[in-house]
A and B are shown apart, each in its own frame.
Chain A
């Protein structure tokens, strides 16, 4: 029982990490069609932001709270630069964006190594996040709970932004019909930039969050990127609710597989499940209704 609850929570928690990593992608990939392989490196940048902030503000609690907006800014600005310098020329070449951003990812990784050194750095968790609460005898780590809360908060913020603000309406309009939006006076250029800023900023927040559970190293991003893409693909392009369901489903499935087999086999099984799922529903859990033939 105790173990069951522990495992259930492990799955939810893994799902929330995946969701945080995938939310931004769901915007940039799902809504703009850009396959940003450097998304993981934006996470890494967020994680190093947390490290730098902690060097200046030694109180781990305050620095964590400062790091979240700071990470958002750092990720967002990196995204803006990437969009302005490279990606805006390539919106109609989605496959090429994958390769270009892979190059950017390599450069960012090496830059992190040259700036911060190859060994991973330590970002301390604040005292109030150390330890755990007991739920029917199962320990629920506070850091995990914090990440779960943070991811739900980001999700709520994003949904609110998209559904309830003029900016969000413009973004959605551009996604649904770029030409019509432009004809109606929406600046697509501007909406693209903002979408990318927010999407990359979310990666920065995800990076800050994962410093609480893992290592902060130049290779941090590579651990998350493929999984994050699978969440978006399985959820359905441009579908935030799809991404949410996919993230938590994959999280729970993975911890079930991992528990009943081994970590390696669990990973392989997850990938097989996704490939099979896409056979049944090539458009993902939810799909955008378009008049496209494919």
Chain B
């Protein structure tokens, strides 16, 4: 069985299983409202795939994914508003504009009348913004904490900007009240099902692309950059290019997710794109296992589902729980749930050697704490799977000694 799960056949089997569950089983058993919720969670999962790449694999703490999510979402929302306005209103001016603004469509909205341009922009705009930012930041070798704080500031500025431009962005209300999606009636349940299906397929495609990337040369370079940026530079590669490419991919995924979010959920507002939602994207990824392929997806869906069911019943409890999740998972289990079985297995075998590693970057030669529950929290990322382990749900407890495998700079992996 384990052998079956390995390699290409295993990937194909896993992919088929995912497709059957998402496209066949879920629509058949879930009531319409729950399916809509699941669709929304899948959008978060698409963002999570990108974060898993950039953060888990690349070590870039993308605290500003809300911006790219928001760009995709607002572009789609603007198109849908304009389309609705011409379909139903006749005037071609979205309702809120005549209410709060001059009653004229501003010039920068006009391109989004066209469905084709909208679809193009959903991909290109977040991608280009990320490209410019990525080049500006990574070429200047701004990294680590600076990158994280700047991303966060950007998310804050984006939300403040959206709120301030009420006449053209809907302000704190955001954009909502959509009735059609590329001509399809949004009230029709079969169209809602179609939207869900599209989200599911996009997620599966995103996973396929992410897997390809992880196994490509670029993917290995990325892990190498995360672990030893200088060495990669000495080897003649440009870490900035590697990082920028992945950052752009993560941004594009977030943008597409945002564009799907709007018709599925029916609203986008600045509260969905600011600092808090940007950080919230990360927790699911961390819980599932940031450096794995499926971990971020399962984590994002799990956290969103838990929030949906728990938060309303116990709002106060949920905040504590969410806070604790951050503390416990990131503090004590940086590999996420995906690292759990491997960690337990390792701990059973060698409980005494829990604090050995020299895997930490040179700046940290602090003595390891001997009393840690997780065996190897000192390594930057114990969860990075062996490249051949296809399925983080079933990480192999018998895998080679786990202290080492994350090092993509190991000769045998680079030469693959």
With known contacts A33-B145, A103-B324, A233-B146, A98–B161 Cβ distance under 8 A: no
Complex formed: what's the CA distance from A178 to B144 in Å? Answer: 20
- Tell me which residues across on chain B come within 8 A of A107, comparing CB atoms: 319-320, 323-324, 327
Tell whether A271 pairs with B61 under 8 Å between CB atoms, given A93-B334, A278-B142: no
B164 partner residues in chain A, CB cutoff 8 A: 262, 264-265, 268
Q: A179–B334 Cα gap in the complex (Å)? A: 26
- The answer to the question of B83 belonging to the interface, with a C-beta cut-off of 8 Å to chain A, is no
Considering only CB atoms and an 8 Å cut-off, how many residues of chain A contact the other chain? Answer: 47
Residues of A within 8 A of B323 (CB): 103-107, 110
Asked if B313 lies at the interface with its beta carbon under 8 angstroms from chain A, I say no
Give chain A nearest CB distance to B14 CB in angstroms.
29
Report yes or no: B365 in contact with A178, Cβ–Cβ below 8 A: yes
Whether B145 contacts A102 by the Cβ 8 Å rule is no
Least distance between A239 CB and chain B CB atoms (Å): 14
Indicate if A184 sits at the interface (CB-CB under 8 A). no
A89 touches B145 (CB 8 A): no
The yes or no answer to A86 lying at the interface (CB within 8 A) is yes
Per-position contact with A for B120-148: 1 when CB-CB < 8 Å, else 0?
Answer: 00000000000000001000111111101
Please tell me if A226 contacts chain B, counting CB pairs below 8 Å: yes
Task: Give min CB distance, A124 to chain B, whole Å.
Answer: 29
Per-residue CB contact flags for chain A residues 259-279 toward chain B (1 = under 8 Å, else 0) read 000101101100110110011
| A103-B325 contact given A230-B149, A264-B160, A282-B141, CB 8 Å threshold | yes
> Interface range on chain B: under 10, 10 to 19, 20 to 34, or 35 or more?
35 or more
- Assess whether A282 is in contact with B144, with CB atoms less than 8 Å apart: no
Report chain B residues within 8 Å CB of A114: 316
Q: Is the CB of B145 within 8 A of A35?
A: yes
Partner of A89, one of B282, B316, B372: B372
Least CB distance, A182 to chain B, in whole angstroms: 8
Interface centre among A188, A262, A294 (most CB of B within 10 A): A294
Interface residues in B153-192 (C-beta closer than 8 Å to A) = 153-154, 156-157, 160-161, 163-164
Instruction: Indicate if the CB atoms of B282 and A271 lie closer than 8 Å.
Output: no
Does A109 have its Cβ within 8 Å of any Cβ on chain B? yes
Which B364-381 residues have C-beta < 8 A from chain A? 364-366, 369, 372, 377-378, 380
Write out the residue numbers on chain A whose beta carbons fall within 8 Å of the beta carbon of B275: 226
What residues of chain B lie closer than 8 Å to A94, measured between beta carbons? 144-145
Complexed CA–CA distance, A82 and B142 (Å):
28
| Max chain A Cβ within 10 angstroms of own Cβ: one of B61, B283, B323, B360 | B323
Contacts of B146 in A (CB 8 A): 233, 278, 282
Q: Which residue of the partner chain A has the closest CB to B146?
A: A233
A102–B144 CA distance with the chains assembled, in angstroms:
17
- Provide the bound-state CA to CA distance between A29 and B239, in Å: 25
Does B413 sit within 8 A of A, measured CB to CB? no
Separation in Å of the B54 CB from the closest CB of chain A?
Answer: 12
Complex contact A279–B136 (CB within 8 A): yes
For the complex, give the distance between the alpha carbons of A107 and B148 in Å. 22
Contacts of A294 in B (CB 8 A): 141, 143, 229-230
Question: In the complex, A99→B149 CA distance in Å?
Answer: 12
Neighbouring B residues of A230 by C-beta, 8 Å: 149, 153
Please tell me if A96 contacts chain B, counting CB pairs below 8 Å.
yes
How long is the Cα–Cα vector from A178 to B364 in the complex, in angstroms? 9
Q: Does B279 belong to the interface (CB within 8 Å)?
A: yes
Taking the complex as formed, is A91 at the interface, i.e. its CB lies under 8 A from any CB of chain B? yes
Give B344 Cβ to nearest chain A Cβ, in Å.
Answer: 19
Q: Is A293 an interface residue (CB 8 A)?
A: yes
A-B contact pairs, 23 of them (CB 8 A): A92-B360, A92-B361, A92-B380, A95-B59, A98-B61, A98-B145, A99-B326, A99-B330, A100-B330, A104-B327, A106-B322, A107-B319, A107-B324, A107-B327, A109-B319, A233-B149, A262-B164, A267-B160, A268-B157, A275-B150, A278-B142, A294-B141, A294-B230
Besides A264-B164, A265-B164, 18 other A-B contacts (C-beta < 8 A):
A86-B331, A89-B378, A92-B378, A96-B331, A98-B145, A98-B148, A99-B282, A99-B283, A104-B327, A107-B320, A109-B319, A113-B316, A229-B149, A268-B157, A271-B153, A271-B157, A278-B140, A294-B141
